[in-house]
């Protein structure tokens, strides 16, 4: 049976503005739909990157984007992301693939971690606000496309970041090693919210960490025994560690909330939504939970760390390509690490329902929500 929390709350598809990774301009005006929030500013990693990373390092190829855009569109999915379904035409997205909350201590070309950590994304936001303040006098009679400075108090600030901090060294140092620096991660997120509050931000949605113990890539790459798998094929120890982190994040946000008068600081339980999809895909119109759509190797997970989705490699003397399935709409996992458009759409419905907000937040009362296109 479908969970009552999964009742369908529909929204129209978003044409969220992807503006690269350096200076991001935002159009004056508001969304076509009536909404209390005139823009959205997003901070994140590949789960919400709508093109930032590939603007800096252009190389994305098919089959990414095959479902909706019919071509690679800078998203780590076959189609749209959660942020695409939030129906905003105005704002800036600072998220980039492989980003971390903490400053990286290594190069992109050594470990694959993006140089655009949360602190860098925040600096980009500060620079944008400085430009808006500087050119405000010229934002009359249509002479500039920059908005009025009061936009920063009328916008929604979203965060979907932290997965790479948790997983990038997990295989090497284990759960115990990763847990040692997780307090720094949640502290950095809380500190960023405070700085955005000082810039005028008043409404913040912070999405928590997904159940990485159910992801095909981690099921293949992380050490575990058969006794560590639950009835759904997910790794118990790693998912428990994620829950510990999410509880830590929730408490940090609660403490921060008490120090920010007139702010709405919401923790969004994305974890519960995705866990439900991984555990019971058929209850929500899907077929496959812990198997990737795009990958190599078939089997239970269809994931091979030697050849990622869309890539071709010579393995043991044979040329192999990680190709996509023909029915991504039936999968939770796109490439072993990221969600399909279908899963992102279901997650958005659940989030906008409001049942996964802590504390409760009436987003559906503040914005008109229309059927997804």
Q: Which residues are catalytic?
A: 46, 335, 338
Tell me the C-alpha distance between 6 and 343, whole Å: 12
Cβ atoms within 10 Å of 194's Cβ, excluding its own:
15
Report CA Rg, the chain.
20
Tell me the C-alpha distance between 45 and 60, whole Å: 16
**What is the enclosing helix (H) or strand (E) of 315?**
strand 312-315
Residue with tokens 């560690």: 241
In 3D, which of 251, 252, 260, 19 has the Cα closest to residue 124?
19
Task: Show the tokens assigned to 21.
Answer: 């990774």
Chain centroid to CA 14: 15
- Please check whether residue 214 is in contact with residue 207, taking contact to mean a CB–CB distance below 8 angstroms: no
Tell me the C-alpha distance between 373 and 371, whole Å: 6
Give the three-state DSSP class for 274. helix
Chain centroid to CA 276: 17
Tell me the C-alpha distance between 42 and 99, whole Å: 13
Tell me the C-alpha distance between 204 and 209, whole Å: 16
């Amino acid at each position: 049976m479908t969970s009552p929390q999964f009742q369908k709350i529909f929204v129209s598809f978003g044409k969220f503005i992807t503006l690269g990774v350096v200076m991001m301009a935002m159009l004056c005006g508001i969304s076509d739909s009536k909404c209390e929030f005139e823009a959205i500013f997003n901070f994140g990693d590949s789960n919400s990157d709508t093109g930032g990373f590939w603007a800096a390092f252009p190389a994305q190829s098919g089959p990414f984007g095959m479902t909706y855009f019919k071509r690679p569109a800078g998203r780590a999915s076959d189609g749209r992301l959660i942020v695409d379904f939030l129906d905003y035409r105005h704002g800036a997205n600072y998220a980039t693939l492989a980003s971390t909350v903490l400053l990286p201590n290594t190069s992109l070309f050594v470990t694959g971690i993006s140089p655009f950590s949360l602190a860098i994304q925040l600096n980009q936001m500060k620079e944008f606000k400085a430009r808006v303040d500087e050119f405000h006098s010229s934002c009359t009679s249509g002479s500039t496309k920059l908005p009025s400075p009061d936009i920063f108090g009328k916008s929604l600030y979203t965060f979907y970041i932290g997965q790479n901090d948790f997983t990038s060294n997990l295989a090497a140092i284990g759960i115990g090693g990763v847990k040692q620096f997780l307090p720094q991660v949640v502290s950095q997120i809380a500190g960023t919210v405070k700085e955005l509050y000082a810039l005028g931000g008043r409404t913040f949605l912070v999405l928590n960490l997904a159940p990485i113990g159910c992801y095909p890539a981690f099921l293949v790459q992380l050490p575990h025994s058969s006794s560590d798998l639950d009835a759904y094929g997910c790794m118990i120890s790693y998912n428990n560690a994620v829950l510990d982190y999410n509880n830590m994040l929730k408490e940090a946000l609660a403490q921060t909330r008490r120090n920010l008068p007139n702010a709405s600081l919401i923790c969004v339980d994305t974890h519960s939504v995705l866990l439900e999809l991984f555990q019971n895909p058929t209850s929500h119109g899907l077929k496959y939970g812990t198997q990737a759509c795009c990958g190599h190797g078939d089997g239970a997970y269809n994931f091979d760390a030697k050849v990622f989705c869309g890539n071709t490699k010579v393995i043991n003397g044979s040329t192999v390509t990680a190709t996509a399935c023909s029915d991504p709409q039936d999968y939770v996992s796109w490439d072993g690490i990221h969600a399909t458009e279908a899963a992102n759409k279901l997650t958005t419905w659940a989030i906008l329902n409001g049942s996964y907000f802590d504390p409760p937040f009436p987003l559906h009362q503040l914005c008109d929500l229309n059927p997804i296109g």
